[in-house]
Amino acid sequence: MLCSLYVSNTATANNLPPTAVITPNFSGSQIYNGEMAIFSAANSYDNDEGGDSITSYRWAVRVGSGSYVTKKYGGGSTYQTYTICFDLDATSHSPTPDGCMGTSGNSSVTIRLEVWDDEGSKSSYTYKSLTVIDRANRKYFIKDHLGSIRSTIDQNGDVIGYDDYYPFGLGMPGRSNNTSNPNDTYKFTGAELDTEGNLGIYHMNARGMDPVTGRFLQLDPMQEFASPYVYAGNNPVSLTDPTGMSTECNEGEKEEDCRARQHQENVEEDNQRANQDAQMLGAGWAMGSTAGRNRIKNNSKKEEQQTGYNTDYDISIDERFFDDPTGDYHSDQQKEDMMRMLEVYGDRIKKLFGKGGRFENVDVTFEFEAYPLELSRNLNGNSGVATYGKKGTPVSEFYSSLKARFVDFGIDELALFVYISPNNSEGTQAKSTPMHELAHVLLIASHVAFPSHPIPVGNPNQHNIIGKTPVTFLDDYFEALNY
């Protein structure tokens, strides 16, 4: 018997059905009532060799044990995803006004997907079973302009807690009640109130803040204010410090609006407290001390003739500050204010910037001149401005003290150039532009010298740090150095 064996080497066409895969944008098998969920078919694949692709998609939904209802069917990327939410309280399976599908209280729903490849082969069904749950005890928090929680409302719209605060966050007795919401510990500026052991301390990330004293319990790592413990520059109504590292403007307020408002507040309070300055300095200094002015002037004549600057205080002071009065109000006021600053703080300035002083190698120049045009555009007639930069850099490229910058040099390379305008003064005999700008100089130098340098140098909040009375800031600063 003759047997023959036939072996074919021709491959059979490969046309396998694709596989549908549902990938939701959440984990688990629960979905919250009324919240949108997104399902994707992007991970579906074609089993054929040769890189065939998925071309069409059909999404269907079933509520409970009812029938599947096709919700989305077509080709292209538009049909690759399906977005839906479920409403337990709605009775219609058609979309509700907010776009959700009603379930008539049925919490069991199923998503079904089938796909087609480019050869027309259809996949088997794939399913994603879900349980729709309501958020039990959902709460809504009503906040004020500082981000402080003022009222807590439940999902039915009922008030279950409320808080009123003293300026630094201490709850007002009789005006705070959270008996129905005992675990609500997020309070003033949204910070967590640590009530363990009846501490009552706000946890503000880097530091803790005591609302009774209105002070931080740890040192300020950024040295933003003269006191390392002060909260928000003693201005808790307008500023916050949510990180314990740096003050911020009101929640939702544009930065330029915030800075403009702070500046206006500073100007108004400066004017209101001008008389207090005069009292602190003494009536004899209201117009400047003639004897003191003449003594400084006489001692500086030799240096003036040689260099054009007085350097008796180890800083450079434009000789024009020492000239006789001209009859121009603003110019003469600035001269008198400079004499007053040197009489009150001259010895301490020399100790600070002189040989062996903390800022021995820092160059400081007080110029009796209007500031350059590029600065004056943003100063709105201010009576002075302090600028800073690296030694050897043209003064025209220095930064204003009110502009925060990162610098790449140390304290020994710091130079400061202060413009005192002869055309504008503080507008009152009791105020002192030179003293105010000296405070800026000390703040900038302190920031550059800080051990964690580089940090931002210069800051619109410097006016809040200096406060409304520069004399107070300067006294506190020199006292802290034991000068």
DSSP state of 240: B
Q: What is the pLDDT of residue 1?
A: 43
Residue pLDDT, tens place only, 307-364: 488 888 999 999 999 888 888 888 888 898 999 899 999 999 999 999 988 899 999 9
Q: What is the pLDDT of residue 314?
A: 92
Q: What is the pLDDT of residue 132?
A: 92
Q: What is the pLDDT of residue 376?
A: 39
Of 38-42, 84-88, 104-108, 422-426, where does mean pLDDT reach its minimum?
A: 422-426
Average pLDDT, the chain: 78
Q: What is the pLDDT of residue 285?
A: 32
Contact (Cβ atoms closer than 8 angstroms) between residue 368 and residue 325? no
Q: What is the pLDDT of residue 48?
A: 81
Confidence of residue 255 (pLDDT cuts 50, 70, 90): low
Q: What is the pLDDT of residue 63?
A: 93
Q: What is the pLDDT of residue 234?
A: 87
d(CA 65, CA 88): 15
DSSP letters spanning 164-192 = -B-TTSPBPTTS-B-TT-TT--B-GGGPE
Interacting residues of 149 by C-beta distance below 8 A, sequence separation 6+: 141, 142, 143, 163, 184, 186, 187, 190
Average of per-residue pLDDT across 33-61? 87
Of 86-100, 280-294, 321-335, where does mean pLDDT reach its minimum?
A: 280-294
Confidence of residue 239 (pLDDT cuts 50, 70, 90): confident
Confidence of residue 290 (pLDDT cuts 50, 70, 90): very low
- Three-state DSSP state, 312: coil
> Which sequence spans correspond to the domains of the chain?
23-133, 139-234, 271-480
Going by C-alpha positions, the residue among 201, 171, 48, 186 that lies closest to residue 117 is 48
Going by C-alpha positions, the residue among 354, 387, 392, 360 that lies closest to residue 372 is 387
- Topology annotation, domain 23-133: Immunoglobulin-like (2.60.40)
* Predicted confidence (pLDDT) at residue 481 exceeds the cutoff of 90: no
Of 142-156, 211-225, 363-377, 402-416, where does mean pLDDT reach its minimum?
A: 363-377
* Predicted confidence (pLDDT) at residue 365 exceeds the cutoff of 90: yes
Contact (Cβ atoms closer than 8 angstroms) between residue 258 and residue 249? yes
Confidence of residue 294 (pLDDT cuts 50, 70, 90): very low
Confidence of residue 3 (pLDDT cuts 50, 70, 90): very low
* Predicted confidence (pLDDT) at residue 159 exceeds the cutoff of 70: yes
Q: What is the pLDDT of residue 268?
A: 54
DSSP state of 162: E
* Predicted confidence (pLDDT) at residue 25 exceeds the cutoff of 50: yes
Does a cis peptide bond (omega within 30 degrees of 0) precede residue 394? no
Average of per-residue pLDDT across 206-212? 92
Confidence of residue 261 (pLDDT cuts 50, 70, 90): low
Q: What is the pLDDT of residue 267?
A: 52
Q: What is the pLDDT of residue 326?
A: 84
* Predicted confidence (pLDDT) at residue 117 exceeds the cutoff of 60: yes
Residue pLDDT, tens place only, 53-72: 899 999 999 999 999 999 89
* Predicted confidence (pLDDT) at residue 393 exceeds the cutoff of 50: yes
Strand order in the sheet with 384-390: 309-310, 316-318, 363-367, 414-420, 384-390, 399-400
Token reading at 425: 């003064």
Q: Which residue did the predictor score with more confidence, 338 or 49?
A: 338
Q: What is the pLDDT of residue 128?
A: 95
Q: What is the pLDDT of residue 35?
A: 85
* Predicted confidence (pLDDT) at residue 273 exceeds the cutoff of 90: no
Q: What is the pLDDT of residue 375?
A: 43
Percent of the chain with pLDDT over 70: 74
